[in-house]
Amino acid sequence: MSDTNVPPEAVARPKRPELLAAAIEDRVEREQLQPGTPLGTEAQLMAQYEVSRETLRNAIRQLERHGVAVMRRGGGGGGGGLTVAATASMTAVRAITAHLEFSDIGWDEIVEARALLDMQAAKLASRRIDASARSRLRQISAELDQGPSTVRAIGKRHLALPGAIAEISGNAVVQLFSQALSNWSTDVLPADLGSPVVRDRETQRVNAILRTISEAIATGDADAAGAAVEAFSASSLKVCKLLEERRRRASAKDWMELPSGSEGEGKLAQRLALALARDVAAKGWPRERLSDEAGLIERFGVSRSVLREAIRMLELHGIVRPQRGRGGGLMIGRPNADYTIASAKRYLRRAGLGASDYLAVREALERGAIHLAVTRAHAADLRAISELNSRLQAADDTQITALAIEWHAQLSQLGRNRALSLLLRTLFTLTEEAQPRLPADIAQTLRKRHARLTQALLDRDEPRAQLVAQEHVAWLNQVLELGLAALHP
């Protein structure tokens, strides 16, 4: 047997393709294999993992759907066989970025979510700073005034610092979410914002704020770093309206324009998918058939292979769906986060995530979700979460974990920030495997805490809601550390 733990053919046959796909993904991530690395021909993989051709091909279909590997034609000596397409981390980042882009999420939602994440990253990085990290931050700060003065080039320089801080934080969740939000920003940034004078003035102002963040973290001053991050967020919110106007005015042709330095059919397919998604969003997500293949090829001037790859991306995120029978074809759907959340979960399960890593980010993001819920939730929204709480209170101990997670997922949506909700729902999946039966005292504590949280929301009492949520996370950390409930990293 090879370096995997795929069980014999006779054991759990229905699950063997999933287990094999997971084993291959583990190898890609563990060995940090880069895109283009050959994994073996069909015959080689069948022998290596001691599986049937049917099992292997079913596993390969899953790997291709996950974006981790692709089967190329030709013999082993001719470049054929299963080849790495992306690491699990790259796949997860792309999945989150694509879902945010295809779902027509706006700049204000991204900036709000980013502020909460950056605050947590700055706090963690300030505790972990060392000489090497300090030097890196100061180097990035020194380069803020260097390079091209285009909007996209400036944007990339600005986002380099939050990216470095996320890495210094040492938290896999922070790193994953930060990279995805940065990718969304660079993909969606317009090529021009109008007056060069205004652009240059705003750039210098943001550069000064970023240098303050950098220096505060470099000296281990978490409070000063947090204050500077708030200033950065406030500055970003000021230009959100302008950025959002440009985003909504962009035509399909504008979305097809590749950012400087982008090459290859893969990037072109991504831009085409974004153009198609924006097209249907602008029409109000009509329940109708997407244009036929020939018409789309002619309209966008792309090859059939590029179009089909773009359609595959949209299918993964629910934007289009195949419908069989009379009147069928590719129908316009609605954004669905299942694939995105599953991709992120697969990566985080391989990232050595500890309970404290998970809870630190969850607490920071949910604190923001509570604030938005108290200030933005409609009366009908609050009635719905109250009804869900009633179900939770009446549930037996085998159902309570799933209902508690559903409650928190619903809370994440009350503030009408889809980016923040996606990040939180991704985190909740790490505890979604319900326990056969929770200990009675833990189940009862869950009921009491969710009743208190629900009442605080109904009363729109943010201080009380935040206090109960903070107590809940501290308690949950103790429960996970004692092994009385399960975090599934």
pLDDT digit string, tens, across residues 240-252: 888 888 888 877 7
329, pLDDT greater than 80: no
Q: Which residue has the higher pLDDT, 419 or 2?
A: 419
The tens digit of pLDDT for each residue in 286-323 reads 888 888 888 889 888 899 988 988 898 898 899 988 87
What is the C-alpha to C-alpha distance for residues 130 and 151, in angstroms, rounded to an integer?
A: 32
The rounded percent of the chain whose pLDDT value lies above 70 is: 90
Q: Is the pLDDT of residue 3 over 70?
A: no
Name the residue with tokens 């704020």.
209
- 122, exposed or middle or buried, with CB in 10 Å at 0-12, 13-18, 19+? buried
The answer to which of 22-31, 138-147, 255-264 has the lowest mean pLDDT is: 255-264
Structure token pair of residue 90 = 């790259």
- The rounded distance, in Å, linking the Cα atoms of 296 and 300 is 6
Would you place residue 261 in the very low, low, confident or very high pLDDT band (cuts 50, 70, 90)? very low
Q: What is the pLDDT of residues 166-220, one digit of tens each?
A: 999 999 999 999 999 999 998 888 877 777 887 888 889 899 999 999 999 999 9
CB atoms within 10 A of CB 165: 28
Helix 16-30 × helix 338-349 angle, to 10°: 60
Instruction: Of 58-62, 136-140, 389-393, give the lowest mean pLDDT range.
Output: 58-62
Supply the mean pLDDT for the chain. 85
What gap in Å lies between CA 450 and CA 385, rounded to an integer?
A: 10
The per-residue pLDDT for 481 is: 72
State the Cα angle at 358 between 352 and 362, rounded to 5°: 160
Residue 296 CA to residue 275 CA, distance in Å, equals 11
Compute CA 337 distance to the chain's CA centroid, rounded to the nearest angstrom: 10
| Range from 29-33, 382-386, 402-406 carrying the lowest mean pLDDT | 29-33
Please state, in angstroms and rounded to a whole number, the distance separating the CA atoms of residues 302 and 484. Answer: 55
pLDDT digits (tens, 9 = 90+) for 111-137: 999 999 999 999 999 999 999 999 999
DSSP 70: E
What local confidence, expressed as pLDDT, does residue 9 receive?
35
Lowest model confidence (mean pLDDT) among 191-205, 338-352, 449-463: 191-205
Statement: residue 469 has pLDDT above 80: yes
Specify the DSSP element, H or E, that contains 39: strand 38-40
Neighbours of 155 (CB within 10 A): 20
Location of structure tokens 């974004």: 274
Question: At residue 263, does pLDDT exceed 60?
Answer: no
Q: What is the pLDDT of residues 419-444, one digit of tens each?
A: 999 999 999 888 755 455 678 888 89
DSSP state of 430: G
Statement: residue 4 has pLDDT above 70? no
Identify the band that residue 397 occupies on the pLDDT scale cut at 50, 70 and 90: confident
Greater model confidence, 128 or 237: 128
Question: Which residue from 57, 67, 62 is spatially nearest to 87, judged by alpha carbons?
Answer: 67
Map out the domains of the chain with their CATH numbers.
13-86 (1.10.10.10), 91-249 (1.20.120.530), 252-332 (1.10.10.10), 353-482 (1.20.120.530)
- At 136 the pLDDT is 95
Candidates 213, 111, 209; CA nearest to 166 is 213
